[in-house]
Amino acid sequence: MENNQNHNKNTKNDKRGWILVLVITLITGFMVLSVFDFAGNATSKEISYDEFLDMVEEGKVEEVAIGNDKLVITPKEENKEKDLLSLFTPDIQVTYYTGVVEDSTLYARLYAAGVKFYSEIPDTASALFWNFILTVVLPFGAIFLFMSFMMKKMSKGGGLMGIGKSNAKMYVEKETGVTFKDVAGQDEAKESLQEVVDFLHNPKKYTDVGAKLPKGALLVGPPGTGKTLLAKAVAGEAKVPFFSVSGSEFVEMYVGVGASRVRDLFKQAQAMAPCIVFIDEIDAIGKSRDNALGSNDEREQTLNQILAEMDGFDTGKGLLLLAATNRPEVLDPALLRPGRFDRRIIVDKPDLKGRVDTLKVHSKDVRMDETVDLEAIALATSGAVGSDLANMINEAAINAVKHGRQVVSQSDLFEAVEVVLVGKEKKDRIMNAEERRIVSYHEVGHALVSALQKDAEPVQKITIVPRTMGALGYVMQTPEEEKYLNTKKELDAMMIGLLAGRAAEEIVFDTVTTGASNDIERATKLARAMVTQYGMSEHFGLMGLESVQNRYLDGRAVLNCGEATASEIDKEVMKMLKVAYEEAKRLLLENRAALDKIAAFLIEKETITGKEFMEIFRQVNDDAEALFEEE
């Protein structure tokens, strides 16, 4: 290691020496040229032709050298001008010059005035020599030196201007600052990676049995689940050098640059083995090569070089390649075969316990009071990933400071959940009285139908305060426990609840508004999934009609049927939505008194809790029962 550092240091010093010599040479050349130019300008002065003739008539000229383009006049000693340069260099001859004019009487005048005159014979050989030096030798010499310097740099693996050199950031031993304690909610992924760490610590225990260290492990999961954090934790636990690079850093415009960077990265890694190389977003260079054109572009050459390097290095040295992606379906099969990325480690969204553990990790440095219940927050954030939960904790801390408190309360956490899910309150958006009534009945319609259905989730909060993400109001519902499956009854109840807002508008105002657009979109998506994916349609039965693509990103579904079948699907979805809407209207009509009373209370308060909502609902039911008994 020390020899390599000294070699690199000497190489840098040599390069700096070459650059210094080149700069000094250029500066010296410019100075010499400037001195000659200055001296020439200082000892020779241009005069007009008539001034020259006057000097000849007055007897002030000693001699005249007649050239092709000018006359060089040497004055007599007593007529020389004294300048600054002549004071310090008295041997320098002071002359004048003027242009050549067609004057047939010039020679006679010079002869009559006793002036010595002669014609200069041009030194063509010397002129050609200096012209060749200045126009050919110096430029080509400078180009030769520059190219020699660049080729020497490229031969050492740096490439032209460092373009082929790896940009990987290296963290040595514990410099990542992350261990498995900092990663929560991914117990299965940590268990798989713990075996890799143990192999790097105790390789003999495995090699004695005949086991080999996996060459590569692929971390797969949605964005924000902690794939990069897990890779850093592996390096922190193993206490080995950790090279981190993004897949996009290998992709360049020039073909061959990415492959050069791959070679340089593996060369550095093998010199530092045992170590870990982490390539984030590997799908940037690892996309499948089965395209119709069969082009051999920069990305393909880079991928080929990675495949070759993974086949070439010795696992006995303890070199492990980790990669992360959220698009495993687009990766090239050669990259995923055994012997390359042997392991696929799923880093999925955390479950309830995982969310609680993640909240504890991110809140360990945050001051909280006794009202905080992280399990309730975890229940309210089903489907959230680690980055979402970290953001919620941070938003809660900011909210506490904004309200002048030094500790975070449960209300701060729930408000942070709302900020992340539906945005901040828009206090400057003021709705008129009619719009407030419509939004109030709309939201109470959702909440009331949820309360009337056995398979619906309980209501946590109702508000008609507009939010920055476009919602004019919303109902927050939190499940009582974590669920991994939904029954058909639960999905039907969910669909009825989504359409209950529009049903309330029609019942109360005898018209409908644009406020139900998102509800209709979600209900339609749910009904379509029940028909095409879940086999919950009487018409199609167990037939799978859609497949999900990009499962870890948007989860977009693509139809796998003909146009006639697609038309039948639309009809079935329309039928299911119509039945759900009629059921929502029936429930609200039967409980019109509760709808009116809760909506009036919400208009007055703007925000009510699930507890207040249920108290009013039970009170109306009790009053109705008492009235019925009296009759």
| 460-487: pLDDT as tens digits | 889 998 887 778 888 988 887 777 888 9
DSSP one-letter string for 91-132: TSPPEEEEE----TTHHHHHHHTT-EEEE----HHHHHHHHH
Does the annotation mark 546 as catalytic?
Answer: no
Between 592-605 and 563-590, two packed helices, what is the crossing angle to 10 degrees? 90
pLDDT in tens, 533-582: 999 988 888 888 888 777 777 677 788 888 899 999 999 999 999 999 99
pLDDT in tens, 16-55: 555 655 655 555 554 444 444 444 444 678 888 888 888 8
Residue 57 has pLDDT above 60, yes or no: yes
Position with higher pLDDT, 182 vs 34 = 182
**Start-to-end CA span in the chain (Å):** 96
Q: What number of CA atoms fall less than 13 Å from residue 276's CA on the CB side?
A: 32
Residue 354 has pLDDT above 60, yes or no: yes
Structure tokens at 617: 């609902």
Residue 168 has pLDDT above 60, yes or no: no
Q: Which of 300, 443, 505, 583 is catalytic?
A: 443
| Confidence grade of residue 597 (pLDDT, cut at 50, 70, 90) | very high
pLDDT in tens, 482-509: 778 889 999 999 999 999 999 999 999 9
Beta strands 275-280; 242-246: pairing state: parallel
| Sign of the alpha-carbon dihedral angle for 556, 562, 563, 564 | negative
| Sign of the alpha-carbon dihedral angle for 593, 596, 599, 603 | negative
- What is the CATH architecture assignment of 352-420? Orthogonal Bundle (1.10)
Fold of 2-125: 3.30.720
CATH 3.30.450.40 corresponds to the domain 169-346: no
Report whether 476 contacts 460 (CB < 8 A): yes
Q: What is the Cα 15 distance to its own chain's centre? A: 34
pLDDT at position 160, please?
A: 45
pLDDT in tens, 258-300: 778 888 888 888 888 778 888 888 888 888 876 544 455 777 8
Residue 587's alpha-carbon distances to 377, 445, 450, 627, in angstroms, are 31, 10, 10, 20
CA distance 220 to 222: 7
| Confidence grade of residue 10 (pLDDT, cut at 50, 70, 90) | very low
Nearest alpha carbon to residue 234 among 185, 181, 168:
181
pLDDT in tens, 302-342: 888 888 888 776 666 677 888 999 888 888 888 888 878 87
Residue 232 has pLDDT above 90, yes or no: no
**The domain 433-630 belongs to what CATH superfamily?**
Peptidase M41 (1.20.58.760)
Question: Is 0.85 surpassed by the pTM of this model?
Answer: no
Q: What is the mean pLDDT of residues 105-134?
A: 74
pLDDT at position 9, please?
A: 44
